[in-house]
A and B are shown apart, each in its own frame.
Chain A
């Protein structure tokens, strides 16, 4: 029981934000304005800048290696997410935002899988902030594109008898916030849950000793699953952001 409690505590320390960054031999105390997840954010931003600012070679006519890999992702975001959800014209214009979303979230997700780092996307504040950016684009993008009247009209559902509109229009409006909230929870919960599962499986070894060794194999499996989910969730967050913005900017016709 004591061991179980210790494992529980360790898991919570690992997945929660704190001001103490535990490295293999030292504990780094961080100032009040910066938590471990904050460090992760800044690190991820630096890595992205390094990746795209320095290592990516724009001059290549025929891209090789890393340049090629990054381009594949950029193309994917442009064609399969941005243009697919927003149409050709707006899609091309909005691609940079979705590229940032995708690579930023992917970077944070993948960093969470490196042992000494932590998953900043497992922090609800981070995902909420990102979802709020999406929400902001949903609201102000629609107002900018269609005017305030058009923005309000986007909440009026089509093909329902008119008395229902008095009920459905407010529900659609609240639905917009629910969608953004669900976006927050989806990313946050998936990343958090994945990490908790891995740590819990490893914790079994601590609690039950050698008998639980097969759990290590399972933990490895879950780790690779997490690797996939890091990409999947970055994709889903970006896709849903693009889709929600698309639905608000080009309401149902």
Chain B
């Protein structure tokens, strides 16, 4: 059962790593396009497009942060596992 959970976590991590790059790119594009669409609707201007770009970048950074957190959590657990043996 514990093995199962670990496997699940590992696959989840691999999947996140695989999908990270394109997720970031698509995130930036989607947020930017949404901003552009808002700008068009408001009648010109660049403010929302810019906002969208930054939100998209923020989304990318957030995704990276999640992966890093997962990694450090795993590293921390490995330390804990290692301690009693050492």
Using a CB–CB distance below 8 Å, which chain A residues touch chain B? 80, 83-85, 87-88, 157, 159, 168, 171, 174-175, 177-179, 181-183, 185-186, 236, 239-240, 243, 246-247
Considering the chains assembled together, what is the distance between the CA atoms of A145 and B9 in angstroms? 20
Could you say which of B11, B14, B59, B63 has the most chain A C-beta atoms within 10 Å of its C-beta?
Answer: B11
Note all chain A residues with C-beta closer than 8 A to B16. 243
Instruction: Check if B15 sits within 8 Å of A178, measured CB to CB.
Output: no
Could you say which of A171, A178, A183 has the most chain B C-beta atoms within 10 Å of its C-beta?
Answer: A178
A186 closest partner in B (C-beta): B22
Note all chain A residues with C-beta closer than 8 A to B7. 84
Note all chain A residues with C-beta closer than 8 A to B23. 175, 178-179, 182
Considering the chains assembled together, what is the distance between the CA atoms of A80 and B7 in angstroms? 9
Instruction: Check if B12 sits within 8 Å of A247, measured CB to CB.
Output: yes
- Residues of B36-72 contacting chain A, CB below 8 A: 55, 58-59, 62-63, 66, 69
Instruction: Check if B11 sits within 8 Å of A85, measured CB to CB.
Output: yes
Note all chain B residues with C-beta closer than 8 A to A181. 26, 30
Note all chain A residues with C-beta closer than 8 A to B22. 182, 185-186
B55 closest partner in A (C-beta): A171
Instruction: Check if A87 sits within 8 Å of B27, measured CB to CB.
Output: no
- Residues of B1-36 contacting chain A, CB below 8 A: 4, 7-8, 11-12, 14-16, 18-19, 22-23, 25-27, 30-31
Instruction: Check if A240 sits within 8 Å of B8, measured CB to CB.
Output: no
Instruction: Check if B8 sits within 8 Å of A174, measured CB to CB.
Output: no
Q: How many B residues have CB within 8 A of the partner chain?
A: 24
Considering the chains assembled together, what is the distance between the CA atoms of A185 and B25 in angstroms? 10
Considering the chains assembled together, what is the distance between the CA atoms of A40 and B23 in angstroms? 29
Using a CB–CB distance below 8 Å, which chain B residues touch chain A? 4, 7-8, 11-12, 14-16, 18-19, 22-23, 25-27, 30-31, 55, 58-59, 62-63, 66, 69
Instruction: Check if A240 sits within 8 Å of B18, measured CB to CB.
Output: yes
Considering the chains assembled together, what is the distance between the CA atoms of A85 and B66 in angstroms? 18
Considering the chains assembled together, what is the distance between the CA atoms of A121 and B7 in angstroms? 30
Instruction: Check if B4 sits within 8 Å of A87, measured CB to CB.
Output: yes
Considering the chains assembled together, what is the distance between the CA atoms of A186 and B20 in angstroms? 11
Choose one: A182, A236, A247; the contact of B26 (CB below 8 Å): A182
Choose one: B18, B66, B69; the contact of A236 (CB below 8 Å): B18
A–B Cβ pairs within 8 angstroms, 5 of them: A171-B58, A181-B30, A182-B19, A182-B23, A182-B26
Considering the chains assembled together, what is the distance between the CA atoms of A84 and B66 in angstroms? 20
Choose one: B11, B58, B62, B63; the contact of A84 (CB below 8 Å): B11
Choose one: A159, A168, A183; the contact of B69 (CB below 8 Å): A159
Considering the chains assembled together, what is the distance between the CA atoms of A243 and B7 in angstroms? 12
B13 closest partner in A (C-beta): A243
**Other A-B pairs, 17, CB within 8 Å; known A182-B22, A182-B26, A243-B16:** A83-B4, A84-B8, A84-B11, A85-B12, A88-B4, A168-B62, A178-B23, A178-B26, A178-B27, A178-B30, A181-B26, A182-B23, A182-B25, A183-B19, A185-B22, A240-B15, A246-B8
